[in-house]
Amino acid sequence: MKAKAAWLASLTAVALALASCQSPAPTPEPTDTSTDVATELQAPWSMAALGDGHLLVSERDSGQIIDTAPDGTNQLVGSVSGVMHRGEGGLLGLATRKELCTDHPTPDPTTGCLAVFAYLTTAEDNRIVRMPLLGVAGSRSLGPAADVLTGIPKGSNHNGGRIQFGPDGMLYIGTGDAGNRNNAQNPASLGGKILRIAPDGGIPTGNPFPDSPVWTLGHRNVQGLAWDETGRMWASEFGQNTWDELNEVKAGNNYGWPVVEGKGTDPQFTNPVLEWPTSEASPSGIAIAGTTLYMASLRGERMWEVGLDGEPSAHARLTNQLGRLRDATLTTDGRLLVLTNNTDGRGTPRPGDDRIVEIPR
C-alpha cells in the first residue's frame, strides 16, 4: 500500500509539473454591447450626423440618401442624379455644411440650412456634387445637384470616396488609384490622392502644388479621414496583399504607393503610423474623439480602437460580432455609431442587416 501511495504521489507531481509548463489559455476579447439604431439598410456606405439626432446615410448601389431618425425610422430623402453603380463604385461619401438660407424655402430651426456634398461614380468619372437639403426632419428632400469637382478617375474598384470638411472649412477628398497604379504618383492625376478644395470647388490658398487640389499623393485607396483634438489629420488606407495603413496626413507628403506598401526604408516616402495585415483590417471609415481613433474594418470584421497619445497603439473590438464594418461616426452629443456592410455582395447578411449600431466609447 505504501508503494502504491508513493507511486500515485509521484504521478500527481509529474502531472502538476507538466501543467505548469503549458501556456495559459488566451483571454478572449470581451464582447461589446451594441444597440441597434437603425436596420434594413441596403449596401450603405457613409453616415453624416445632423444636429437634431438624425443621420443621413448613403446607399451605394441604389444612389439613394436615407434620413435615419432617432427612433430608427428610415425615410428616403432622394436619389442622387447620375449615380452609376459598378463594382465598388456608386454613391459613396457624404458630408454636410451649414450655408446661407437663400436656397432653402423652409429653413430648419434646429439644424439651420444645410448643403449635402456627395462623392459619386458616374458614367464618366468620380465626382463631388452639392445639393441643398430642403425641408425639416420628417419631410426632407434634396435640391438640384451642382458639380463641385469632376474628373476623379473611376474604376470597378479603388474608387476612394470618403469626404470630410476639415477644421479649416475646406473639403478634403480621399481618392483611389482606380486600378491604375500610375495614378498615385502622377501629380496631374486626381487618383490615388487626398485632395483639398474650397466648398465651391476652387483651389484654396496653402495647397502644396500650384493651381492643384492635390494635398498628398502616393495613396492606393483612401477610405477614412478625420482630425484629432490637436488638429492632426489622419487617413485609413487599403493595402494590396500585405499591409493596410493608418497615416498621419501632412500637406505635400508622398505616401509611397505603388513603390512601397506599408512601411519602407526610402526617405522620400512617408511611412504609415500603424499597419495591419489585410486579413485583420481592410480599413474603412474613421472617427476620432479627442485623441482616440475608431476605425471600421471590412475584411477584418472588427473595429480598431487606436490611442493617438504618445506612441500610437491599437486594440480590436467587435471582432466577428457584426460582420463587415464600413463607417464610424460620432453624433453631435458624442455617441459612437458604427455602420455595417454585409449586403454589398461581399458579406453574409444577418437578420436586420445592414444596420447602424451604437457601442460604448
Question: 3.40.50.150, 1.10.150.130, 1.20.120.530, 2.120.10.30: which CATH number matches 43-276?
Answer: 2.120.10.30
Residue 32 sits at φ, ψ, to 5 deg, of: -75, 140
* Pairing label, strands 356-359, 114-121: unpaired
pLDDT at residue 104, as a whole number: 74
First to last CA, the chain: 63
pLDDT at residue 22, as a whole number: 43
* Pairing label, strands 336-340, 356-359: antiparallel
Does 333 sit behind a cis peptide bond, omega within 30 degrees of 0 on the bond before it? no
The grid coordinates of residue 135 equal 425641408
Tens-digit pLDDT string for the chain (361 aa): 444 444 444 444 434 443 444 434 444 556 788 999 999 999 999 999 999 999 999 999 999 999 999 999 999 999 999 999 999 999 999 999 999 888 677 789 899 999 999 999 999 999 999 999 999 999 999 999 999 999 999 999 999 999 999 999 999 999 999 999 999 999 999 999 999 999 999 999 999 999 999 999 999 999 999 999 999 999 999 999 999 999 999 999 999 999 999 999 999 999 999 999 999 999 999 999 999 999 999 999 999 999 999 999 999 999 999 999 999 999 999 999 999 999 999 999 999 999 999 999 9
The grid coordinates of residue 191 equal 487618383
pTM, full prediction: 0.91
Q: Which of 43, 47, 63 is nearest to 55 (CA)?
A: 47
pLDDT at residue 29, as a whole number: 58
In angstroms, the CA 189 to CA 193 distance is 8
The grid coordinates of residue 102 equal 437663400
Kindly list the domain boundaries of the chain, sorted by start residue. Answer: 43-276
In angstroms, the CA 72 to CA 52 distance is 14
Q: How many CA atoms lie within 13 A of 216 on its CB side?
A: 29
3-state helix/strand/coil string of the chain? CHHHHHHHHHHHHHHHHHHHHCCCCCCCCCCCCCEEEECCCCCEEEEEECCCCCEEEEECCCCEEEEECCCCCEEEEEECCCCCCCCCCCEEEEEEEECCHHHCCCCCCCCCCEEEEEEEECCCCEEEEEEEEECCCCCCEECCCEEEEEEECCCCCCCCCCEEECCCCCEEEECECCCCCHHHHCCCCCCCEEEEECCCCCCCCCCCCCCCCEEEECCCEEEEEEECCCCCEEEEECCCCCEEEEEEECCCCECCCCCCCCCCCCCCCCCCCEEEEHHHCCEEEEEEECCEEEEEECCCCEEEEEECCCCCEEEEECCCCCCCEEEEEECCCCCEEEEECCCCCCCCCCCCCCCEEEECC
Q: Are 57 and 44 in contact, with CB atoms under 8 Å apart? A: yes
Q: Are 119 and 173 in contact, with CB atoms under 8 Å apart? A: yes
